[in-house]
Structure 1
Amino acid sequence: MRRQRTDTSDVWPRMTRRAALLGTAQLGLMGVLGWRMKELQIDQADEFALLAEENRVNMRLIPPARGLIFDRNGVPLATNEPVYRIVIVREAAGEPQQALARLARVMLLTPEEIEGAISEMERMASFVPVTVKDRVTWDDVARVMANMPALPGITAEVGLSRHYPEGADTAHVVGYVGPVSDYDLSLMEDPDPIFQIPKFQLGKTGVEAKLEDQLRGQAGTQRIEVNATGRVMRELSRDEGIPGTDIQLTIDAHLQAYVEARMAGESAACVVIDCATGDLLAVGNAPSFDPNLFVRGISVLDWTSLNENIYHPLAAKAVQGAYPPGSTFKMVTALAALEAGAISPEETVYCPGVTNVSGIKFHCWKSGGHGNVDFHDSLKFSCDCYYYEVGQRAGIEAISAMAKRLGIGVRHDVPMSAVSEGIAPNAEWKQAQHDDVWRVGDTVNASIGQGYVLATPLQLAVMTARIATGRAVKPRLVKTVNGAEQPSGAGEPLGLNENLLRRVRASMFDVVNHQRGTAARSRIVTEGMQMAGKTGTSQVRRITPEERARGVTSNADLPWERRDHALWVDFAPFDNPRYAVSVVVEHGSGGSTAAAPIGRDVTLQALYRGFPPIEAYPEDRREEAQQMQERVRAIMQGRPIPALDRA
C-alpha cells in the first residue's frame, strides 16, 4: 500500500512560534532568577550576613499607655510617668545566677532583687524579659548600656508607671495598681498575654480595679532583631497598640482634699452627693494611705504599719463600713409608719424615759423622758420611746421596705472595692441568716437604727438625698468615659406622699435650727443656706441592767473601741437642696458633738465652693470655726498643724 506523503508547509510556522514563546519564557524566568540572586547576594548581603551569625527575630509585646483618671474639673488623679528599668532575657543571658552576678558588678543589686529575678525567670518562658530592678537612675542605665557587650541578654528599658498626684486624698476612690501576681492570674479564665509583660501593672482596688478592662488598653507588638549574644540589633517593625480609656470621675478634688483634712485625727468617713444628679462629689475615708507606696512596691514595714493600724486606713469605710445607723434611721421608721397610716403627724406618744416590751426595758437617751411627743418633736428631740411605739405599729416589713426604698439594704452600683449592701432586716432575713424567728424586741431595736440594721455612709447620703428631693437619686461616680457623658443619677420620683416628706424635712430643719434641737450648735446662719439634718449615736456595746443601776459609764471613761459611733446626715440649702452629706465617726461618742460639726463644715465648703466666711457660723462658734479653718488649711498645704483649742 502506498504511504501518503505529509505536507509540512503549514506545521513548520506553528513549531517556530512555539519555540519562540518557550524560549522567551525561559529567558524571562532566568532574568527573574538572576535579578533575585543579585538582590539576595549583593543588595541584601549585609542583612543576611547578620542573620547568618545566628541572629534571630523576636516578637515582644508593648504595654499600652494606661488610661488616665481625672476629677470632674480635669484635675489628674491617676497619671503615667516614665521610669527606667533593667531587664534580662534568660535564653540570651545564659545561666541566671552568673548573669546577675555580672550585672551586680556594674550596679547595686540587693540579694532580694537577685532572688526575685531568678524566681521570676524560673516562672516565665525563657524568651520573656524579666525586670531585675525597677525605677533605676540614669547613671545605672548609662553603666548598663556601656557594658552591654559583657552583659548579654541584659538591657535597660524605659516604660510607664502609675502615679497618683493627689496621694492619700483619693486613695480609696481611685485605688491603686500593682504587679500582676499568681493569685491575680488564678482568678482569670483566659488571661490576656499582656500579663506576661515584666512588672505589668494591674488595678488592685477602687476604680483602677473595677474599670480595669477599660483603663488597660490593648498591647502593641515589636519585632526586633537580636544577635547571638542577645543584643538588640535593630527594630524591624512596631505597633503601639491601643491606649487605655480616659475616665473622668464626679469627685471634686478640692472638696475631697478638704473632707480628708477635716477628718484628720479621726477614724471616720464622709460622703457628699449632688442631689440633682447623684454625683458623688467627695467620698472621704480617714485615716488614709499613700497609694504610690503600692505602685513602687510597698515595704514590709509600711505594709505592717497599715495592716495592723487599729483605725484601718486600708478600709474604704464610706462604702465598705456598715454601721448601726442609730437615730439617723428614724426618718425611715417615721415614713414607714406615716405612709402605712399607723400614726398621724399630730398624734402624740408619751415618753417616760423607758418602754417595757415583753418584760424587757428599752430606754430613751433622755433618762427622764420627753413627755408627750408628736412626730415633729420626735425628730427634733430624737425621742427613742416615740419610735419604739410607732415602729411596733408599722411592723418590720414596712420598715424594711421603706429602708430599701430610701437606699439602705441595697448595694449601690459604684466602681469601688467591697461595696457593702448593708442590712434592712425583716423576718425572712433573720430566718435565713440566723435560723430564728423575728421577735417584737427586734422591731423595737430596728426602729431606732440598732439591732440588725446596718448602713454605710454612702447609703445614708443616698437616703438623705432621696428624702430631700423625693426622687430615687442614684449615686454616680463616673462622669465621662473618653469624653462621653454617663447617665445621670437624678432618678425617678419615689412615689412617697409629698406632704409627709415636707413634714420630715421640716422636722430635720428644726433639729439644726431650733434652739433646743439636738444639733443647734452646728447650724448655718447664712440666709438661704440653712441646712436640715439629723444626729445619730449608735451603741457598739450592751449596757447591762447592773450598769444602768449604778450609772451608765461615760464614753470618755471607756476604751476607744468600746465607745459609741457618732453619725450625722444633712441636706442644704433647705429650700432648694443641692447637696446631701453623711458623716460617721467611729467611736466618736456623740453625733451632735463629733459628727455634726464635720458635716456642717463640709456642707459649707460645698456650698461656697471653698472656705466659707466666718459669718456663716453662729456668733458663739466663730472663734472655734476660725481655729478649725486654720488647722484644715495647714493640713491641705502640708504645713505644721496648729493646736486646736477645745476649751
Structure 2
Amino acid sequence: MRRNPRELSLLQRSTSRRTLLVGGLQLAFAGGLALRMRYLQIDQADQFRLLAEENRINIRLIPPARGKIFDRNGNVLAQNSPSYRIVIVREDAGDVDQVLQHLSELIPLDQEELDRALTEMRRSPPFLPVTLADQRGWDDISKVAVNAPALPGITPEVGLTRIYPRGADFAHVIGYVGPVSDYDLSKLEDPEPVLRIPRFQIGKVGLEAKREEMLRGKAGAKRVEVNATGRVMRELDRREGQPGADLQLTLDAELQNYVQARLGSESASAVVLDCETGDLRAIVSAPSFDPNLFVRGISVADYSKLTEDPHRPLSSKSVQGVYPPGSTFKVITALAALEEGIIGPTDTVYCPGYLEVSGRRFHCWRRGGHGHVDLETSLKQSCDVYYYDLAMKVGIDKISAMAQRFGIGVRHDLPMSAVARGLAPNRDWKQRVHGQEWLIGDTANASIGQGYMLASPLQLSVMTARVATGRSVTPRLIKSIDGIEQPSGAGEAMELNPVNLRMLRKGMYAVSNDRRGTAYGSRIIEDAFRMAGKTGTSQVRNITAAERASGVVRNEDLPWERRDHALFVCFAPYDKPKYAVSVVIEHGGGGSSVAAPVARDIMLQALYGDTPPLTAYPAKDRSRVKELQDRLRRERLRRDEEESGRA
C-alpha cells in the first residue's frame, strides 16, 4: 500500500526527532563517562596511585635488639642470644594434623606449647607464620631442615631472646622479660606498633621493666611485596632499627655472688653501699630464683614451688621488705637527742631492767638491767632503758624528723620493683591514718625501732652511710647509659654537729671492738679495716607479763615464723669509711649472733675486693670461712668453664 506524500513527511519528521533524542542521550552519556574518566585519571591520579601502592606493598616492623646490661667491671648480666624456633604457615602445610604428626616423630613437641600454637593458628590468617616450638637446639633445627621436603609449611627460624648468664644472682635487681600480654597492652594508652609483634619481649619486673623504653630501642621496618591475599612475595628494602641502650650498673658481680652464697638458704637480704659515691655494690635477696625460667615460660610446677615457699623467693626483700629496725634505730634516737642538746657524752641513765611509763613497764632486753649507762655504753651493750628515757625527753616528732633525714620513711629513687617507703611515724601520721592520738608508749617503742617504725634493708644501709660520712649519701644503681656516666650519689654535708657524729661513731666502734660490745665476736681483726656497727633484734610477737615472769621462750624453741628478726648495720674502715652494709635475716633470732657474722664476712669481701686472708677473721670463724671460700672458688671455676663452653 502506497503512502501519500503527507504521511511520508510526518513519518520522516517523527523519525528524525527520535534519532536526535537517542543521539543526544548517547552523547550525554559518553560525555559523562569522559568527564568521569578525566576525574579519575587526572584529578584523582595521585590518590589512586597511593591506594594501588598500599595494596601492593606492606610495611613490616623489624624488632630492635634489646640493650645489654653489665656490672661495673664489664661482666655481662643480661644479653641477647640467638633463639632457634620452628614455625608453621597453615595454608602451605595442607593437612596440618598430618604435618604435625610427622614433625613430632622427628623432634619432641611440648603439648602445652603445641595447644597454644593451634589456638593461635585458628585466630590468625592462614598465610601468617605461627611458632610451634621455641628455644630449640641446633640438633632439632638441623633435623627439620634436612626433612624440609616432607614437612610442607614448616620452617626453622632464628631470632633473639633474653638470657641472664648470672642466673639467680641478679634476679631481684634486673628482673626478667616476657612476651607482651593483653594485660600489658591494656596498661598503655597508645601502645607502640612494635609491641604487637608476636612473642615480642618486654620487661616484666625489676630494672627490665623500670627502664623498658630505654632498653627496648626503636623498631626498624622493611617493605615487602605481597599478593592480593597478603602473602609475602619478596622483600624490597629494609631500614634497621635502633638498638636499645646498654646499661652499666654499679653492682659488682663477684661480690653479689658472694653475698648470695653467704646468705644461703636463709630468708634474708643484704645491701652493700659505697659511702664515697652512693654506688650500690651488692643488693641481694635470698632465696632467689632463676629468671631464665620466666623468659622461656615457667612451668606450673616450677611456679608453684616458688609461690608456696615460706621464704618467698620471688620477693625483693632488700627494697620491698620493711621490718622494725630494732636496736639499729638507736643511733637515730641518740642523734636526735644529741642535736637537741638533751644529752652529753658523759650523761648517764640508770637502767634497772625496765622503765615505768604511764603505769606500764617497758623492759630492757637484759632482765637485771645495765646500771648507770652513758651514750657509748648504751650503744655498746644496746641498753633499751637509756633510749626509752631519751625518747621521753626528745619526743616522737623530732625522732621522726631525724629518721627521715637519714633515709627512713623515704622512697629512694631506684629502678627496681616495689621500692618501699618504710615508715617514720609521728603524731600527725597516727591521727591521719588510724584516727587515734599518739601515746607516750608509742614513743617508747619507736625509740628502740619497734612499734610502728619500719625500714627496709636499703634504707638501713643509707642510714649507716650517712652516719659514717655526715653527708646525704643517695643510693645509685645505674653507673652509665651507653657509656655516659650518671650523676653521683655522694651527697652534700648534712649540717649536723660533727662532734655529735663522732660520739655516735665511737659508740658504734665499741659495739664491734670492745670486749663487752654486742658484736665483739664478729669483729674484723685487721687493724686497717676495723669496723663500727650496731646490732638489732626486732620482735614479731608480744611477750606477755606471764611469760616474762616464768621466763621468755627462747627463739630456737619457737616456730620459725614467730622468731625475732636479726639485724646488723656497719661501716668500715672506721677511720675512713668506704662501705656501709646492712643485713636482715628474717626470723633469724639475735642480731649479734646471726646477722653480725654475715655482715662482717660481706664487709671483708667488699674491702679486699677478692678472697680475704683468714687472718682478718677471729680464730673461731676461720675454719667455717675457709670452707665457704673453697666452695665459692669451685663454683666460680665451674661457671667460668660453662661460659667458655658457650663462647
Query: For residue 99 of structure 1, what is the aligned residue in structure 2?
Result: 96
- Which residue does 1:22 correspond to in 2? none
2:272–2:280 CA contact under 8 A, matched in 1: yes
Q: Mean alpha-carbon deviation: is it higher for 135-144 or for 586-595?
A: 135-144
Matched with 1:241 is: 241
For residues 628 and 154 of structure 2, the distance between their equivalents in structure 1, rounded to whole angstroms, comes to 56
Q: Post-superposition shift, 1:544?
A: 0.9
Does the C-alpha gap of structure 1 residues 542 and 634 become closer, same or farther in structure 2, counting only changes over 3 Å?
farther
Deviation string 1:177-232 (CA, Å, 9 cap, x unpaired) is 11111111111111111111121111011111111000001111223346789875
For residue 467 of structure 1, what is the aligned residue in structure 2? Answer: 467
Per the alignment, residue 529 of structure 2 pairs with 529
The one-letter code sitting in structure 1 at the alignment partner of 2:96 is A
Distance across 2 between alignment mates of 1:99 and 1:412: 55
Whether the 8 Å CA contact 2:102–2:151 is kept in 1: the answer is: no
Report the Cα offset of residue 101 of structure 1: 4.9
Alignment coverage as a number of residue pairs: 583
Is 1:455 aligned with 2:464?
no
Alignment partners' CA distance in 2, 1:57 and 1:154: 25
Question: Are 2:520 and 1:499 aligned?
Answer: no
1:402-444 deviation line (CA, Å, top 9, x unaligned)? 0000000000011111100001111111122222111111110
Q: State how far apart, in whole Å, the 1-side matches of 2:433 and 2:228 are.
A: 66
What is aligned with 2:170?
A: 170
Q: Deviation at 1:249?
A: 0.2
**1:127 Cα offset (Å):** 6.6
Name the structure 2 match of 1:512. Answer: 512
- Tell me the residue number matched to 1:577: 577
CA deviations 1:517-575 (Å, max 9, x no partner) are 00001111112210100000000111111111111000010111111000000000000
Question: Secondary structure in 2 aligned to 1:106?
Answer: helix
Q: Which amino acid aligns with 2:453?
A: V
Percentage of identical aligned residues: 62
RMSD over equivalenced CA pairs, Å: 2.3
Question: Contact 1:555 / 1:563 at 8 angstroms: preserved in 2?
Answer: yes
Deviation at 1:142, TM superposition (A): 4.5
CA distance in 2, matches of 1:361, 1:385: 10
**Contact 1:129–1:198 (8 Å) recurs in 2:** no
In the TM superposition, residue 58 of structure 1 has moved relative to its aligned partner by 4.3
3-state secondary structure, aligned to 1:537? strand
Distance 2:633 2:562 in 1: 32
Q: Secondary structure, in 3 states, of the residue corresponding to 2:208? A: helix
Counterpart-to-counterpart distance in 2, 1:102 and 1:553: 68
Question: What one-letter code is carried by the residue in structure 2 that aligns with 1:431?
Answer: Q
CA contact (8 A) 1:512 1:518 kept: yes
Matched residue, 1:384: 384
Structure 1 residue identity aligned to 2:420: S
Tell me the equivalent position of 1:4: none
The separation in 2 between residues aligned to 1:148 and 1:276, in whole angstroms, is 61
Query: Secondary structure of the equivalent of 2:576?
Result: coil
Contact 1:83 1:159 in 2 (8 A): yes
In the aligned structure 1, how far is the partner of 2:494 from the partner of 2:192? 44
Write the letter of the residue equivalent to 2:248: Q
Partners of 1:322 and 1:454 within 8 A in 2:
yes
Secondary structure of the 2:172 match is helix
Q: Structure 1: how far apart are the matches of 2:420 and 2:595?
A: 21
Equivalents in 2 of 1:261, 1:539: separation in Å?
26
Q: Deviations over 1:387-414 (max 9, x none)?
A: 0110111111001100000000000011
Aligned ranges for residues 269-348 of structure 1 at < 5 Å? 269-348=269-348
Q: How far apart, CA to CA, are the structure 1 residues paired with 2:484 and 2:595?
A: 37
* Structure 1, 144-153 or 129-138: larger mean CA deviation: 144-153
Q: Is the 8 A contact 1:404 1:410 kept in 2?
A: yes
Map of 1:70 onto structure 2: 70
Letter in 2 for 1:331: V
Displacement of 1:328 after TM fit?
Answer: 0.3
Matches within 5 A, 1:174-573: 174-225=174-225, 233-573=233-573
Aligned counterparts of 2:172 and 2:369: Cα–Cα separation in 1 = 42
Question: In 2, are the aligned partners of 1:153 and 1:230 still within 8 Å (CA)?
Answer: no
Partner secondary structure for residue 103 of structure 2: coil
- Asked whether the 8 Å contact 2:460–2:569 carries over to 1, the reply is yes
Q: Distance between the aligned counterparts of 1:424 and 1:202, measured in 2?
A: 36
Tell me: CA distance 1:205–1:125, structure 2 relative to 1, closer, same or farther (3 Å): farther
User: In 1, Cα distance between the equivalents of 2:444 and 2:472?
Assistant: 27
Partner of 1:14: none
Letter in 1 for 2:533: G
Decide which moves more: 587-596 or 137-146. Answer: 137-146
Write the letter of the residue equivalent to 1:465: A
Query: Do 1:178 and 1:295's aligned partners in 2 also have CA atoms closer than 8 Å?
Result: yes
Contact 1:175 1:204 in 2 (8 A): yes
Is 1:106–1:143's contact at 8 Å kept on the other side of the alignment? no
- Structure 1 counterpart of 2:77, which letter? L
* Counterparts of 1:301 and 1:487, CA distance in 2: 43
- Give the match's secondary structure for 1:204: strand
Q: Which residue of 2 aligns with 1:43?
A: none
Counterparts in 2 of 1:378 and 1:122: CA distance versus 1, 3 Å? farther
Task: Check the 8 A contact 1:153/1:231 in 2, yes or no.
Answer: no
| 3-state SS of 2:625 partner | helix
Return the offset for 1:266: 1.1
Deviation (angstroms), 1:124: 5.9
Cα distance, 1:79 vs structure 2? 0.7
Question: Are 2:127 and 2:231, in contact at CA under 8 Å, matched by a contact in 1?
Answer: no
* Separation (CA, whole Å) in 2 of partners of 1:110 and 1:70: 34
Q: CA deviation at 1:483?
A: 0.2
C-alpha spacing 1:629/1:140, structure 2 compared with 1 (3 Å): closer
Q: CA deviation at 1:114?
A: 2.9
Unaligned runs of 5+ in 1: 1-50, 640-647
Task: Give the letter aligned to residue 582 of structure 1.
Answer: S
TM-score (norm 1): 0.86
Structure 2 residue aligned with 1:37:
none
CA separation in 2, counterparts of 1:575 and 1:534?
17
**Contact 1:56–1:226 under 8 Å retained in 2:** yes
What is the distance in 1 between the residues matched to 2:325 and 2:638? 34
Q: Which moved more, 1:595-604 or 1:233-242?
A: 233-242
User: Do the aligned partners of residues 426 and 119 (structure 1) sit closer, same or farther apart at CA in structure 2, a change above 3 Å counting?
Assistant: farther
Indicate conservation of the 8 Å contact 1:129/1:197, yes or no.
Answer: no
**Maintained 8 Å contact 1:257/1:636:** no
SS at match of 1:480: strand
- Contact 1:152/1:230 (8 A) holds in 2: no
Q: Is the 8 A contact 1:152 1:231 kept in 2?
A: no
User: 1:334 is paired with a residue of what secondary structure?
Assistant: helix
Distance 1:431 1:100, change over 3 A: farther
How far apart are residue 295 of structure 1 and its match? 0.7
The one-letter code matched in structure 2 to 1:454 is: L
Whether contact under 8 Å (2:93, 2:99) holds in the other structure is no
Rounded to whole Å, the distance in 2 between the matches of 1:592 and 1:630 is 26
What do the CA deviations read for 1:291-311 (whole angstroms, capped 9, x no partner)?
Answer: 111111111111011111000
Q: Assess if the C-alpha contact under 8 Å between 2:93 and 2:151 holds in 1.
A: no
Q: Answer yes or no: is the 8 Å Cα contact 1:262–1:632 preserved in 2.
A: no
Q: Which residue is 2:597 aligned to?
A: 597
TM superposition shift of 1:254: 0.5
Structure 2 residue ranges without an equivalent (≥5): 1-51, 640-647
Separation of aligned partners in 1, 2:574 and 2:480: 30
Do the aligned partners of 2:103 and 2:151 also contact (CA within 8 Å) in 1?
A: no
State the secondary structure of the residue aligned to 2:235: strand
Deviation at 1:513, TM superposition (A): 0.3
Q: Structure 2: how far apart are the matches of 1:403 and 1:131?
A: 54
